[in-house]
Amino acid sequence: MPVKIFKQDADHRWLWQVTPSGGALVAGSADYLAGGLLYAGTLTSLLGYDFGPFAVAMGNQIGFCDTINLKAGDYEFDSGVEQRILKNGLQVSVPFGGRWVAQVRGTYTRFLEDAAVPDYFTVGGDVAYRFLGKADAEEAKRGYAFVGVYADLADNYTSPHVRLGTAWKF
């Protein structure tokens, strides 16, 4: 659940919200007799400013992912995951044509524990169509469909992607 410290509206151009999150999952493979119980948590800060013709947002996140050993008879399952992750990113959003918005973003990710790739950059952008309600109303900001491209970039590593989906604000 996001906690809004500064709420952006017609009279206030700043937005700041902090969001804690957490979760757990069980993964396993009978073929390899492997698996584990993973749990994770993050704290995310979003700070944004609406300049009118465009908006800028900065996101910062710290998170962790760890495992719990599971035992079943003579078998012990531990995937050995123990990681702390920092993410810092910037995004520029430019609305156009009433319901459309173009976004360009970059994010730096740093793994604080040993990892095959210790850090990487993600760069990309997308175009989104906002729907529901009138184009200039608050309701139009609650749901959108988007298509975009981005890539993860590190030393000796590149992973391009295409994004297609929807997002909803409640």
Percentage of the chain beyond pLDDT 90 is 62
The DSSP bridge pattern shows strands 75-77 and 70-72 to be antiparallel
Q: Which amino acid is at 62?
A: I
Burial of 91 (0-12, 13-18, 19+ CB in 10 A): middle
Domains annotated on the chain, with CATH: 3-168 (2.40.128.130)
Q: How confident is the model at residue 91 (pLDDT cuts 50, 70, 90)?
A: very high
The two three-digit tokens of residue 62, written as one number:
């710290």
Query: What are the CA-CA distances from residue 41 to residues 38, 112, 133, 153 (Å)?
Result: 11, 15, 35, 25
Summarised one tens digit per residue, pLDDT across range 9-45 is 888 999 999 999 999 988 777 776 677 788 999 999 9
Q: Please name the residue that has the structure tokens 């906690």.
A: 3
Q: Which pLDDT score is estimated for 108?
A: 98
- Say how far apart CA 31 and CA 18 lie, in whole Å: 42
Task: Encode pLDDT of 46-75 as tens digits.
Answer: 999 999 899 999 999 999 999 887 777 777
CB 120 within 8 A of CB 134: no
pLDDT at residue 78 greater than cutoff 60: yes
Determine the pLDDT at residue 27.
75
Give me 108's structure tokens.
Answer: 């730096």
User: What is the spatial distance between Cα 9 and Cα 50, in angstroms, rounded to a whole number?
Assistant: 9
Q: For residue 123, what pLDDT is reported? A: 98
Beta pairing partners, 160: 151
Write the pLDDT tens digit of every residue in 100-138: 999 999 999 999 999 989 999 999 999 999 887 555 545
Residue type, 72: A
Continuous segment of H or E residues that includes residue 44: strand 34-50
Extended beta strands in 69-118, E state: 70-72, 75-77, 82-96, 100-111
